[in-house]
């Protein structure tokens, strides 16, 4: 029977390493079972408690082992061997602890951290709804159209409600603007912070019924100095000062991010100091830091365009696309085409692997179909923070001053050299 436990040092002569190991002293024999981390079986040695202490002194010095030798005996009911050598394997950094660290460093304040946490909660709910859409009768159309004339899916409407409710309940948002709403909405429940939050609650929702990756996109602007809580008593003043003040250039964004709902739920965000990715652990219910300081490769031989619109493109854009397929120009291997049809999914792959994503204008949609506030600006900020670029082909996306809440612009985003090459082709 195992009776006592003491901690003794294990000396690895071959590597000159010293680690602490658990040792169990047998009750009737003076045998110590030393559990070596590098050996699958315990090593038995004829040692007394005093000889254990002597071995420890030889490795650490008498002054460091006095506490080990005099370790209290473990009760007979607790006979489980505890072996913990090296760093704690259960240590992890969550979104919450990351936000606390950034707040301590002065990069964000408590109010902004609360808004980001509220978005994280909203995306947990949306991710759960997406995973159960097929068995909860959440697929198909809702029977309505949004302000852009697009058919709304059931999950579009539900996701928008979830997002709005979480932001309202945070008490730190003054105005929220959604792709699914005709106009930005002033939040009456706010009591501090008053941040402006823009979001696309469910990007790529046309892929929901097929089970393909979708996501949420969001951006956070600083509170407007022209808009105050007192203005909410006058609807006309509120509309002029608060709601229309949502139209800000992307360079003013404080936070940008997206959440990908796929084989795993991944939140990628920036607060203006690098890009970080957090993967949702469904067992713990927390976003865990999995992609610290993401950097997009400078080049990447993957392009993501909807070539079904090729005939409607400009001659310069056609020439660019044709050049990517010329094997001789790229060392014998042309670019590879990868297109999901979901901005979040395509952008996430581009961010990690490099390459370029593009949604240009064409004959039917001269400015493309992506919204500047909800999609192009947040994604461009993420790309630039990761070392890439976001462009319309002729100007930096983050420098565009929106004239309308739902304004559309062409978007080319990804690896720096890939976007620069596209711009050089379009300007010919």
Q: Residue 33: pLDDT band by 50, 70, 90 thresholds?
A: very low
Task: Name which of 113-127, 207-221, 343-357 the model is least confident about.
Answer: 207-221
Q: Residue 380: pLDDT band by 50, 70, 90 thresholds?
A: very high
According to DSSP, the β-strands at 214-221 and 253-261 are: antiparallel
Check: CB of residue 245 under 8 Å from CB of residue 227. yes
Q: Is the pLDDT of residue 135 over 60?
A: yes
**pLDDT at residue 175 in the model:** 87
Per-residue burial over 199-226, b if 16 or more Cβ lie within 10 Å, else e, is bbbbbbbebbeeeebbbbbbbbbebbee
DSSP state of 190: -
Q: Is the pLDDT of residue 83 over 70?
A: no
Q: Residue 2: pLDDT band by 50, 70, 90 thresholds?
A: very low
What is the pLDDT averaged over residues 330-351? 95
With a pLDDT cut of 70, the percent of the chain lying above it is 68
178 φ, ψ to 5°? -120, 150
Q: Per-residue pLDDT tens for 272-322?
A: 999 999 999 999 999 999 999 999 999 999 999 999 999 999 999 999 999
E-only strand ranges, 35-193: 43-46, 141-145, 151-153, 173-178, 185-186
Q: Is the pLDDT of residue 37 over 50?
A: no
How confident is the prediction for the chain on average, in pLDDT? Answer: 79
Q: Is the pLDDT of residue 241 over 70?
A: no
**pLDDT at residue 424 in the model:** 96
* Nearest residue to 357 via CA among 344, 369, 367, 366: 344
> 378 or 33: whose pLDDT is higher?
378
What is the pLDDT averaged over residues 71-94? 54
Task: Name which of 53-57, 202-206, 298-302, 320-324 the model is least confident about.
Answer: 53-57
**pLDDT at residue 207 in the model:** 81
DSSP state of 341: S
Q: Residue 43: pLDDT band by 50, 70, 90 thresholds?
A: very low
Q: How many CB atoms lie within 10 A of CB 39?
A: 10
Strand order in the sheet with 17-26: 2-12, 17-26, 31-34, 43-46
Q: Residue 236: pLDDT band by 50, 70, 90 thresholds?
A: low
> 206 or 350: whose pLDDT is higher?
350
What is the pLDDT averaged over residues 374-390? 97
CA distance 191 to 128: 30
Give how far Cα 303 sits from Cα of 245, 299, 337, Å: 36, 11, 5
**pLDDT at residue 390 in the model:** 97
Q: Residue 231: pLDDT band by 50, 70, 90 thresholds?
A: low
**pLDDT at residue 180 in the model:** 83
Q: Per-residue pLDDT tens for 172-202?
A: 888 888 988 887 887 766 666 689 999 999 9
């Amino acid at each position: 029977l195992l009776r006592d436990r003491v901690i003794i040092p294990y000396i690895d002569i071959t590597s000159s390493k010293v680690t602490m190991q658990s040792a169990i002293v047998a009750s009737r024999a003076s045998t110590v079972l030393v559990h070596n981390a590098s050996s699958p079986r315990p090593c038995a040695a004829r040692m007394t408690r005093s000889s254990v202490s002597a071995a420890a002194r030889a490795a650490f010095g008498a002054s460091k082992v006095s506490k080990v030798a005099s370790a209290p005996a473990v009760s007979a009911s607790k006979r489980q061997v505890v072996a913990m050598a090296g760093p704690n394997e259960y240590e992890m950094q969550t979104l919450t602890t990351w936000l606390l660290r950034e707040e301590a460093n002065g990069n964000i304040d408590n109010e902004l951290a609360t808004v980001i946490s509220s978005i994280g909660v909203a995306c947990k709910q949306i991710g759960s709804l997406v995973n159960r859409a097929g068995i909860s009768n959440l697929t198909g159309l809702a029977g309505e159209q949004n302000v852009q004339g697009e058919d709304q899916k059931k999950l579009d409407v539900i996701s928008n409600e979830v997002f709005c409710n979480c932001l309202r309940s945070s008490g730190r948002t003054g105005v929220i603007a959604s792709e699914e709403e005709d106009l930005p909405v002033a939040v009456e429940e706010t009591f501090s912070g008053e941040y402006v939050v823009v979001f696309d609650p469910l990007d790529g929702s046309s892929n929901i019924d097929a089970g393909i990756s979708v996501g949420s996109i969001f951006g956070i602007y600083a509170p407007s100095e022209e808009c105050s809580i007192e203005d909410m008593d006058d609807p006309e003043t509120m509309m002029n000062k608060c709601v229309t003040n949502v139209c800000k250039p992307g360079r003013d964004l404080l936070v940008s991010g997206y959440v990908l709902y796929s084989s795993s739920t991944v939140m990628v965000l920036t607060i203006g100091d690098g890009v970080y990715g957090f993967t949702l652990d469904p067992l713990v219910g927390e976003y865990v830091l999995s992609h610290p300081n993401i950097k997009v490769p400078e080049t990447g031989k993957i392009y993501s365009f909807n070539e079904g619109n090729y005939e409607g493109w400009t001659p310069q854009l056609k020439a660019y696309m044709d050049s990517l397929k010329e094997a001789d120009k790229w060392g014998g291997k042309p670019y590879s085409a990868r297109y999901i049809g979901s901005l979040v999914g395509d952008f996430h792959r581009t961010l990690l692997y490099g390459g370029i994503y593009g949604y240009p204008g064409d004959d039917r949609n001269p400015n493309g179909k992506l919204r500047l506030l909800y999609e192009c600006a947040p994604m461009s900020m993420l790309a630039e923070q990761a070392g890439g670029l976001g462009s319309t082909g002729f100007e930096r996306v983050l420098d565009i001053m929106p004239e309308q809440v739902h304004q559309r612009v062409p978007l080319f985003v990804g690896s720096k050299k890939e976007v620069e090459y596209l711009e050089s082709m379009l300007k010919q």
